[in-house]
Structure 1
Amino acid sequence: MVVDEEDDLFYTQAALAAHCPGQGRIAVHPTPASGRPAALAHDMLYALGKRLAAGPHSPDVWLDSVGAAWRAAAAWAQAAAVRHVLVSRVHLLTPRRIDQLLAWRTTTGVQMTLLWQGEECRLPPVLGRVERRLRGRDSFEALLAEPGPIRARPCFPPGEPIACRSAGTAVSGVLGRSSAGASRGPGPASAGSGRQAADCPGCAAAHPGHIMPAITVGGQSTAVVSALAHPLAAGALSVLAFTRVGLGALRWTRDVDITGDVSAIKVHGVAHRSCAVYAVPDWARPLLAAARAHHRLGSGPLQGSVFAPVMRCEARHLRAHAGRHPGLGLSRCVSALLP
C-alpha cells in the first residue's frame, strides 16, 4: 500500500502511466461517486479493456450484479495473465467496496498495490493490517520498476501450429463419428437428439488431420467481440463467428471440448453424429480462455457446459449483442432466436 497524505497528483499519473496489460500490469481508477453496486467491478473490467453496452435494455444488464461482475473481471484477469493491479483513490472507496476488492485479489492471486491518498489515521481496520507500506516518490517509482511477481501462467500458452484439414476434404470419420451430409460443421444439437455430450470424447481425442480451419473474421469485428465485457458472451460469439455452426452446437460445449492451450475447440452435432473440431484463431484464444476461466471460477465440472448460463432465456444476451454488430455475419443465428 502506498500512503500519500498530501494527495500528490504524481502518484495517480505514475500509476496510470504504468498501465500495460500486455505486460501483466493494469491500473484501475475508480469512478468517483458512483452508487452502482458493481461500479468498482465495472472499473476493473474497463481497465482490462472491456466495455459494457449502455442503455436500459443493455445486453450487459446481468453484469449489474456484484457477484457476476467480479467473476467476469476475475476470468478476464486470469486469461490475460494479469500479475499486478494498481488501484488509485482507495481512500474514496466504501468499506464494502474495499472488501470486494480484497476478495477479488484473493480469488485471482494477483499482486495489488493500493494508493491511499489521504490521512493514514483514517485507514480502515482491514487496510491497517497491511504490512508493506510505501511513502515517497522514490519508493513508488522503485515499486513500478520492479519486475514484480512471476507472471501468472495464461490459460492459452503458445503451442505448436495446428494441422488443419483442407476445406474440401470430406469430414467423415471425425473422432470416429459418421458425419454424412455435413459441410462446414455440425448443426444444432438438442437434448432429445440421442447421446448426451458427456458420452462424446473431448477435444484431446481429435486427430490433427481432422481439425477444421476457422473461418476468417474481419479485424473490426474481432475487435468488437474482444471488447465485450462478459467472457461467456465474447467466447460464444467468437465461436459462432469463426465456425458458423448453429447455436445449438454451443449448448453442449464442455470444458473438455477446449484444448489446454485453447488452440482447438470441439462443437457437437445432432445425436453427436457430426461433431467437429475447429482450430481457434489467435484473436479468439483469449476469449475462450476467459470463458473457460469463468466456468472454472464457478466450480464448473470438466463435463459441464461452459456456455450454459448464456444459453438460457433463448440466449437473449447473445441475440442482443449479435444484433448490435451485423459485421459479425451472424444474422442467421440472430433470426433463429426468439425475440
Structure 2
Amino acid sequence: MALVYGDVTIVVDEQDDLFYTRAALHAHLPAEGRITVQPTPASASPAALAHDMLYALGKRLAPKPDSPDVWLDSVNEAWLAAAAWGVAMRVRHVVVPRAHLLTVRRIDQLLAWRESTGAQLTLLWQKTPQGLPPALALVERRISGRDQFEALLAEPGPIPARPSFSPAPLMARPAAVAAGPPSARQPRETRSASLRPRRLAPPCAGALATAQGVQAAPALNIASAEAAALAVLAHPLIAGALSVLAFTQAGLGGLRFTRDLDITGDISAVKLHGVGHRYCPLHAVPAWARPLLAGARAHHRLMLRPPGDGMFAPVMLAEGQHLRAHAGRLPRLGLSLPAGAFAP
C-alpha cells in the first residue's frame, strides 16, 4: 500500500504482541529518515512527549537542576525545536509504540508535529480500537497483522514535499560592502567590541550573492568530541549559534545580524556582519555543522519570521543566558560569552 504525504496509520494490536514493539524499535534508523519515539511512561511534564521526540532525534537536554535547557520546558518551544530538527534531518516516518497510553492532548501534539514536518506517522494502538480518541477515530488507514506491519516499516516513507514555510527570497540588491578577505582576522576581543551594534545599518547582500564574488574563509578545525557535543544540543538556535562561533571564532556582534539569507541554500557558507557592514566576512561551513545550521534555519522559518530578521536573535535575549550557559558547559571550545557582549 503506497504511502501518501502526511499520512497517519494506526496499527491495531489488541493482544499487545511483543513482536510489534520489537519491530518498531528495530525500525529506528535516523540516517534513513525513520525514527521510533518511545513515550516516557506516566510523565506529568507537559513537554514530555516533545522531549521524547528530541531524544529519538539524537538530541539530549542538559541535566537539571539549573539546566540551560529550561527553555524547552515550555510546550511550544519544545515542539518547535522537535519540528525544526525533524525538518532539518528530513525525517520521513515516525513510529510511536504504546500510543494508547497517550493523552488526547499529546496525540494532538503529535498530529500537529506531523503537519509541520510532513512526515508519515504510525501509531501502535495496543488495545481495543474502541477507545480511539476522536482525532484518531477519523483515520481511515488502519492495519493489523505482522505482514502488513513489516511491509509498512519496509517502505521508505514519503519525502516531505510541502514544508510549512517558503524558501527565503534572495536579496537582489548589491552588497553594501564586500566581505572581508579570509586573512582579515582581528583579535577576538577587538572584534567583539567593534561589532557591538550601536545603530541600525542598511541591509547588505546575502551569502549566495556574496559567494559569487568572494571566496569563503576556511572553517577552523575543532576536535570531533567537541563537534559531537554541539550536535546533541536540543535547541536548534543554540546548537547553530555555538557551532558558528566554534568554527569561525567570531565575536557575537556578527552573529547577532546573521539572517536566513546569510546562509547559502546548500549550507556550505555563512555570512556574518559588522556595524555599518564595514566587515562582513563569508565563512565556509564544515560538514559537521551543516545539520546544525539547517536546524536553526528550519526553526526560524517555522516561526514564520521574515528572512531578513536576525536568525539567532531569540537566544540573545535576557543577556543570552541560555547561550552562555551552554557555552560554559563546553569549556574546551573556548567560547567565552560575557553577558555584557549582548548589550545593545
Within the candidate set 129, 146, 149, 1:140 is matched to: 149
Within the candidate set 292, 295, 298, 2:297 is matched to: 292
Deviation digits for residues 55-96 of structure 1 (CA, Å, limit 9, x no counterpart): 121111010011100000000010001010001110000011
Amino acid at match of 1:145: A
Partner of 1:244: 249
Q: With the length of structure 2 as denominator, give the TM-score of the two structures.
A: 0.87
Is 1:36 aligned with 2:38? no
Shift, 1:182, TM fit: 3.9
CA distance in 1, matches of 2:99, 2:243: 36
Amino acid at match of 1:201: A
Check the 8 A contact 2:11/2:122 in 1, yes or no. yes
Superposed counterparts of 1:249-328, under 5 Å: 249-328=254-333
CA distance in 2, matches of 1:292, 1:150: 19
Shift, 1:183, TM fit: 1.3
Partner of 1:20: 29
**Larger displacement relative to structure 2 (40-49 or 184-193):** 184-193
Shift, 1:150, TM fit: 3.2
CA distance in 1, matches of 2:339, 2:308: 30
Shift, 1:43, TM fit: 0.3
Check the 8 A contact 1:240/1:246 in 2, yes or no. yes
Partner of 1:105: 114
Q: With the length of structure 1 as denominator, give the TM-score of the two structures.
A: 0.88
Check the 8 A contact 2:177/2:278 in 1, yes or no. no
Aligned length: 317
CA distance in 1, matches of 2:57, 2:198: 40
Structure 2 alignment gaps of length 5 or more: 1-9, 164-174
Partner of 1:205: 209
Is 1:195 aligned with 2:237? no
Q: Relative to structure 1, is the Cα distance of residues 273 and 47 closer, same or farther in structure 2, using a 3 angstrom cutoff?
A: same
Partner of 1:226: 231
**Larger displacement relative to structure 2 (44-53 or 209-218):** 209-218
Give the SS at the match of 1:234: helix
**Larger displacement relative to structure 2 (266-275 or 220-229):** 266-275
Give the SS at the match of 1:82: coil
Q: Relative to structure 1, is the Cα distance of residues 249 and 2 closer, same or farther in structure 2, using a 3 angstrom cutoff?
A: same
Partner of 1:71: 80
- Quote the sequence identity (%): 61
CA distance in 2, matches of 1:84, 1:184: 46
| RMSD over equivalenced CA pairs, Å | 2.3
CA distance in 1, matches of 2:340, 2:100: 49
Amino acid at match of 2:196: S
CA distance in 2, matches of 1:78, 1:178: 33
CA distance in 1, matches of 2:157, 2:184: 50
Q: Relative to structure 1, is the Cα distance of residues 150 and 194 closer, same or farther in structure 2, using a 3 angstrom cutoff?
A: closer
Check the 8 A contact 2:98/2:124 in 1, yes or no. yes
CA distance in 2, matches of 1:180, 1:15: 49
